[in-house]
Amino acid sequence: MDAHLAVKIVHMSSATLLIIAIVIGLLTLYVGTQDNQPNPKLRKVFMALQHLSLLLIILTGVSLLVMNEFQVKPWFYAKMVLFLVVISSLIKAFKKDASIALAQRRAGMFIGVVALIALFSLVIIKPVFS
């Protein structure tokens, strides 16, 4: 197995790990919440999985860019924008700030899930812009 395929497999596996982390994140916002804060026990698990998966996605993504000599398809830029939307919405949803209402946290998570679905759809469809 060549290095490119191995990095690609790790990249896709870490994307799957991110999906699992987001499902746990959704649970923290709906089960066992305390004073507009996510469930404190599940939050630690979520944060660990989220940070691990995002770190792996970024590292393997940059590695794949270098291996491909920065030759990307036009839809790659939309993928990057959607990835930034996912990250920023997760930051909003799980920021340790008592002034953020639970409804705002859930809305931020909803935006993140919609952006993640759009990102995966974009990756699966791989549209051709010409």
Model confidence over 120-129: pLDDT tens digits?
A: 999 999 888 7
Tens-of-pLDDT digits for all 130 residues of the chain? 799 999 999 999 999 999 999 999 898 888 888 887 888 888 888 899 999 999 999 999 999 999 999 999 888 999 999 999 999 999 988 888 888 888 999 999 999 999 999 999 999 998 887 6
pTM of the full predicted structure?
0.88
Model confidence over 39-52: pLDDT tens digits?
A: 888 888 889 999 99
Decide if 50 contacts 20 (C-beta within 8 A).
Answer: no
Alpha-carbon span 14 to 102, nearest angstrom: 28
Decide if 18 contacts 52 (C-beta within 8 A).
Answer: no
Domain ranges of the chain: 3-125
